Amino acid sequence: MAKSALEGMAKQIKEKFIPQLIEHDPNQHIGVVLYGEVFQLQDSEYALGIVSGIFENNDEKEKFETGKPNTVWPNYQKYLNVNELLKMSKQNQQKSQNNFDKKDFNVADLLETHLDSTQVLPDGTVYKIKRYIAATGDLRIEVYPKDHEHQPHFHVISKQRGINARFNIKTLALINMKQGKIKESDVKKIQNFFSTNPSILQKLVNEHARLN
């Protein structure tokens, strides 16, 4: 992800409390993100490091209520150990590369997905705007809740190339484009991805049914 996008996330964390959820479920609100900072990795890429806390009682949940101004972030900045995060990143790079869907996510990875798939309204309500399923290359596979404008479908998105395509969830055929233009090779790539990853296809079907 671009440095500017990560810096935007860090800025959002410092402005108001972002909830820490299990599986992005608003009913499983276990804590809050207290501080975020962008740092450079050894490969010249950038990452977002965060400090988060788990609620120990209801008083803490009320004190760190979602959407309230985060005025305490300077108190938690010292708990972010960038050197330790760099060491962890180097160790992860030395491991064999698994499929994106199978890799171990750290809290920052989960936060990135959460911030990209939800909106926090002024009253603190967490509003789900989409559900990330998986990715192949630069193509992200997502499902939108209450998305009834077309036949049952999912979205294939590439921010780098400005692509947002609708695919039929049953046949995996391309329906139409919401934005940009997708190559025939990308269409086949998505179809082959699901044919070789039936468990992810089932996850897609289940999430579509749950959200719609």
Residue 54: its pLDDT value, please?
A: 87
**Which residues are registered as beta bridge partners of 131?**
143
DSSP type of residue 16: B
Residue 102: its pLDDT value, please?
A: 46
Residue 81, SS3 per DSSP: coil
DSSP type of residue 196: H
Give phi and psi for 204, each to the nearest 5. Answer: -60, -45
Residue 66, SS3 per DSSP: coil
DSSP type of residue 105: P
Residue 104: its pLDDT value, please?
A: 47
Give pLDDT tens digits along the chain (212 positions).
578 888 888 899 999 998 887 766 677 788 889 999 988 887 778 888 888 888 888 888 889 998 899 999 999 988 888 777 777 655 555 543 444 444 444 555 555 555 555 555 555 554 455 677 888 888 989 888 766 666 889 999 998 899 999 999 999 999 999 999 999 999 999 999 999 999 999 989 988 887 76
41, 53, 142, 167, 208 from 150: Cα distances, Å = 42, 41, 15, 10, 13
Give the pTM: 0.45
How many angstroms separate the first and last alpha carbons of the chain?
Answer: 29
- Helices marked H in 21-81 — which ranges? 58-63, 73-76
Q: What residue type is 77 in one-letter code?
A: Q
Give phi and psi for 21, each to the nearest 5. Answer: -115, 155
Give phi and psi for 135, each to the nearest 5. Answer: -145, 150
